[in-house]
Amino acid sequence: MGSVKQSLAFFTNGHVDAPSYEAAILSARSHFEDGAPPYMPQYWKRAYGSSGTIRAIADVIEKNGLGKGVTPDSLDALKRRFIAFGHVSRIDMPGLRPDRASTVVGGLAILIGVMHELDIEDLTPIEAGLRMGVMWDLTLREMRRDRREQSVRDFARKFHVDEGRAARVADDALSLLEQLKPATDTAARLLYWSALLHEVGQAVSQTGHHKHGAYMIENADLPGFTTRDQRTMSRLLMAQKGNLRKVEEFLSDTDFARAVVALRLAIVFMHARIALADAQPKLRMKNRIELELRRELVSGHPTLSYWIEKEQENWDEVGVDLSLRTGS
């Protein structure tokens, strides 16, 4: 929720009083109450607090004799002490730096709210924080246990994505991208995960599923992914079909443009029911996109010519020439 945000929203101009605290706590509780049931005490043995604000609150409670540990009673005692000061600029307590007071005031309201909603009677502050999670995530990636892979597969299952179709497009898209020689491995990984989720928007509607999927990916909680990663994947899903004007401004990124080409062609081959091993395409991209296919493949699959023509039209709209050559 954010301690600073809570402080600014409810303790206007730094004023601290009982009505403001009650409103801030009620707001915090409203955020947690709907998600609380799976986290009630019967599902865990000990609760930990891992933020700097929680450690600061615990330190103030201890150094001012307001209670033993972080409990509802000690938090209430600290709240009453803050109210007695009346303004963040007047808060002067051992263990609390003056420059942290405005943040801790809002953080306390959030902590009281979450402990109330989750029925936590005792919270143990710990040193581990966001940086520890980042280090653990990086360690898992080095061990080839990338949590992003699991996030994508969990998300696909949640929305009943056809795993066979998704895997086929993902594998074909990677093979096509390899021919285009992207500058970084990041492009390949994001393309692969995007391809696995390219039909996720069908959970909303068959019509415009690429738009629905793009919105879902950009706004979903996908553990392990950065906001930038999800935004890139969202744009790839948006670009998988139809006109390319909607992503035209991003096509100046060469790796992104290559990923879009690979994804769109992989989907074309799937729709035409052509295995990539049978197609054996040769793909190049510099100032233009050059696709070479065997002549008998094109003549034997009438819809393939239709799909390629549509691709040529769509790329032409954004000033990129796609040429098809047929060979023996």
Say which residue the tokens 């263990």 belong to.
Answer: 95
245 backbone φψ class: left, alpha, beta (φ>0; ψ -120 to 50):
alpha
Burial readout 125-148 (b: 16 or more C-beta within 10 A, e: otherwise):
beeeeeeeeeeeeeebeeeeebeb
Q: SS3 of 290, please?
A: strand
Look at the chain and count its residues: 328
Close Cβ partners of 16 (under 8 Å, ≥ 6 residues apart)? 82, 83, 85, 86, 87, 88, 91, 105
Q: Are 32 and 114 in contact (CB under 8 A)?
A: yes
The predicted structure's pLDDT at residue 34 = 86
Beta bridge partners of 123: 47, 70
- Across-strand partners of 284? 290
Cβ-contact 217, 230 below 8 angstroms: yes
> In this structure, what are the phi and psi dihedrals at residue 149, rounded to the nearest 5 degrees?
-60, -45
First to last CA, the chain: 62
- Give me Rg for the CA atoms of the chain: 27
> CA 314, CA 245: separation in Å to the nearest integer?
8
Which pLDDT score is estimated for 143? 65
Q: Residue 243: phi, psi to the nearest 5?
A: -70, 155
CB 234 within 8 A of CB 218: yes
| CA nearest to 48, candidates 116, 127, 105 | 127
49-54 contacts, C-beta under 8 A, 24 or more apart:
49/111, 49/123, 49/124, 49/125, 49/126, 50/125, 50/126, 50/128, 50/129, 50/132, 51/107, 51/129, 52/129, 53/3, 53/103, 53/104, 53/107, 53/111, 54/107, 54/111, 54/123, 54/125
Q: Which pLDDT belongs to residue 144?
A: 64
- pTM, two decimals, is 0.67
Judged by DSSP in three states, 33 sits in coil
Q: Compute the distance between CA of residue 107 and CA of residue 24 in angstroms, rounded to an integer.
A: 10
- Digits of tens for pLDDT over the chain (328 positions)? 889 999 999 999 999 999 999 999 999 999 898 889 999 999 999 999 988 899 999 999 999 999 999 999 999 999 999 999 999 999 999 999 988 999 999 999 999 999 999 999 999 998 877 777 778 777 776 666 678 888 999 999 999 999 999 999 999 999 999 999 998 888 999 999 999 999 999 999 989 999 999 999 999 999 889 999 999 999 999 999 999 999 999 999 999 999 999 999 999 999 988 898 888 899 999 889 999 999 888 888 888 888 999 999 999 999 999 999 987 7
Hey, what domains does the chain have and what are their CATH numbers?
A: 3-128 (3.30.420.150), 145-327 (1.10.3210.10)
DSSP state of 122: -
